[in-house]
Chain A
Amino acid sequence: MSVTHQLSPVAKLEQKTVHDLIVKGKRLDERNALDYRPLTIMLGTIEKANGSAQVYLGKTKVLAGVKIQTGTPFPDTPDEGILTVNAEFVPMASPDFEAGPPGEDSIELARVVDRGIRESKAIDLKKLCVQPGKKVFVVFVDIYVLDHDGNLIDAAGMAALGALISSKMQEFEVKNDELVFKDKIMPLPIRDYPVPITSVKINGSIVLDPCLEEEQVTSCRLTVTTGKDDRICAMQKGGLGVFTPDEVKQIVSTAISKSRDLRQRILSKVN
């Protein structure tokens, strides 16, 4: 069962401060409403993974790793590789995270990131087929939240994208129904670069990229994921509040223009 969250006592105390600032058009860290926090991306930090990326979004830290292994294809897509996205809220990242099976928040985060990558058709899964119906490559994207200071979805989405574009695998061919690896290394076949942008509504105002103190007192959030040609490929509303249709349309426009800028910055990391 999905149960209403309890607001932490600290968040309740900070609520008024955050709300009062928002009314004046200000924020806790002196950003403007539509400013993003400083973003740092490091690619390939984990050598044993096929690809990896560490993202710092303000004080939020997320690490994503890609492992590519063989597996059996799904019956309805026998000639396509498989993408699976999983998110781990590591207990070190926040006093609110507990060890154990994934909660609904980490499942939601993983599924929103998954939808962005899947629906933008970012990975050319047809090129990851070894033997139709029998053997394909499985791309495992594992997202590790290391420090939670708000807006985990965007940080995780960009870490996953960074890990995918930095992914390398051995070239392969099929000889006598056997998978044979060649000596050459090739990049993962990537066609699009989906970037999620999250806006939240605090005390009636729309702001981008909330930090944790802001996130805890938001009424609702909307994540819009767009690909390289400005097409929207995934969206997710969360939280107990509501948006008017006009607010939604405004958030979508902002997200489209913001994602262009961030996509450029992630791509500049690839040589």
Chain B
Amino acid sequence: MGKEQKVPLLDKNGLRVDGRRLDELRPLKLEVGILDKADGSAYIEHGKNKILAAVYGPREAHPKHIALADRAVVRCRYHMAPFSTDERKSPAPSRRELELSKVIRESLEPAIMSEYFPRATIDIIIEVLQADAGTRCAGITAASLALADAGIPMRELVAACAAGKVEGKVVLDLSDIEDKQGDADLPVAFMPKSNVIGLLQMDGSLTEEEFKQALDLATDACRRIYDMQREALKQKYHVVKDEAEKEEVAEVKV
């Protein structure tokens, strides 16, 4: 390890290190229902982020004393695999992971109709297999699909994306190097139809004007991600439908 060389984050055409425009997302891939045992699951690739999310529940609260009489308890664990980062990360939960587990839970709970399941728990497990900046946002995007996949009634899907600032310009969806060398990072989780924000954090340096610009950029990107989430959910059932049709055809042939 040594000190990383500073590289220019914007080229002469105003494009970013990876060739993106200022308001362009990294490539995003979403898959729903990929784990067999979990009640709901989803996988996201966002840039080089590779993240799995699984949901168990609603199921009986265990231990019993955590149960609430008027709603389900939501439990959330955000964790990074030891091999997900440049330097090996200790598998023990860090303070950062504990904080993120909390803010991720608080961003998803407003979407869950937990009042339908008193005395139950809904468990959300997010495992970062490879980290590449913006893991909490990608984790939320995947976890909200896993909740939907588990059939848990939700007010709306939650989409999340970060905006930030590099070399004085407000940009969308920071990459790893932009996150490390940039001037600000603003992760946002947003429900587009209700027009509400469930997660908002910021570190770095922004003027009030830059903040407003970055917030608008992030919420706008969340709208786009929301459409991709819907598409990914539909995709799962398209496959089921296609297979059912094939089986029908096969049966007819026999």
Please report A residues at the B interface, Cβ cutoff 8 Å.
1-4, 6, 75-76, 78, 104, 107-108, 110-111, 115, 118-120, 220, 222, 227, 230-245, 248-249, 252-253, 256
With A3-B66, A111-B95: A119-B204 Cβ-Cβ less than 8 Å: yes
Complex contact A234–B200 (CB within 8 A): no
Is B123 in the interface zone, CB < 8 Å from A? yes
Contact yes or no, A104 B212, CB < 8 A: no
Interface residue from A230, A244, A252 paired with B195 (Cβ < 8 Å): A244
In the bound complex, what is the Cα–Cα distance between A249 and B200 (angstroms)?
12
Flag if A252 contacts B105 (CB, 8 Å): no
Task: Give Cα distance in the complex from A175 to B41, angstroms.
Answer: 60
Quick one: given A76-B3, A230-B208, A245-B215, are A222 and B75 in contact (CB under 8 Å)? no
A–B complex contacts, Cβ < 8 Å, 15 sampled: A3-B75, A4-B68, A4-B74, A4-B109, A4-B114, A76-B1, A104-B98, A108-B102, A119-B204, A232-B205, A233-B205, A237-B106, A238-B103, A244-B196, A248-B215
Chain B residue with minimal CB distance to A220? B106
Per-residue 0/1 for B193-207: is the Cβ within 8 Å of any A Cβ (1 yes, 0 no)?
011111111111111
Give the interface size bracket for B toward A. 35 or more
On whether A231 and B206 interact (CB within 8 A), knowing A3-B66, A242-B110, A244-B195, the answer reads yes
The main secondary structure of chain B at its interface with chain A is: mixed
Nearest 7 CB-CB pairings of A with B: A235-B202, A242-B196, A2-B101, A237-B200, A2-B102, A1-B75, A75-B1
Q: Least Cβ distance of A238 to chain B in Å?
A: 6
Given A232-B206, A233-B205, answer yes or no on A104-B200 (Cβ-Cβ < 8 Å).
Answer: no
Chain A residues closer than 8 Å to B194, beta-carbon distance: 242
- Bitwise, B84-107 to A at CB < 8 A (1) or not (0) is 000000000001101101111110
Q: How far is the CA of A76 from the CA of B96 in the complex (A)?
A: 18
Q: Mark B171-206, 1 if CB is under 8 A from A, else 0.
A: 000000000000000100001001111111111111
Partner among B71, B77, B202 whose Cβ is within 8 Å of the Cβ of A232 = B202
Q: Do A244 and B197 form a contact, CB below 8 Å, given A1-B123, A78-B3, A231-B205?
A: yes
Chain B residues with CB under 8 Å of A256's CB are 208
- B4 contacts the other chain (CB 8 A): yes
- Give Cα A3 to B1, complex, Å: 37
Beta-carbon contact of A230 and B102 below 8 Å: no
Q: A107 — which chain B residues lie within 8 A by C-beta? A: 95, 98-99
How many Å lie between the Cα of A241 and that of B194 in the bound state?
13
Say whether B80 faces chain A, with CB atoms less than 8 Å apart: no
Contact check, A235 vs B201: say whether CB atoms are below 8 A apart: yes
Q: How distant is the Cα of A111 from the Cα of B98 in the complex, in angstroms? A: 11
Residues of B within 8 A of A2 (CB): 75-77, 98, 101-102, 104-105
A244 surroundings in chain B (CB, below 8 A): 195-197
Q: Flag whether B73 is at the interface (Cβ < 8 A).
A: yes
How far apart are the CA atoms of A75 and B36 in the complex, in Å? 42
Bound together, the chains give a CA A3 to CA B106 distance in angstroms of 10
Residues on A with beta carbons closer than 8 Å to the beta carbon of B3: 76, 78
Given contacts A1-B123, A108-B102, A231-B206, 14 further A-B contacts (CB under 8 A): A1-B77, A2-B76, A2-B102, A3-B66, A3-B74, A4-B75, A104-B101, A104-B102, A110-B95, A230-B208, A237-B198, A238-B106, A242-B110, A248-B215
- CB <8 Å contact, A237 and B203: no
B99 touches A111 (CB 8 A): yes
CA distance A2 to B143 in the complex (A): 15
- Residue numbers in B under 8 Å from A243 (CB-CB): 196-197, 200
Query: Which residue of chain A is the closest to B110 with respect to CB atoms?
Result: A242
Q: Give the interface centre of A2, A235, A238, A245 by most chain B CB atoms within 10 Å.
A: A2
Q: Which residues of A contact B102 (CB under 8 A)?
A: 2, 104, 108, 238
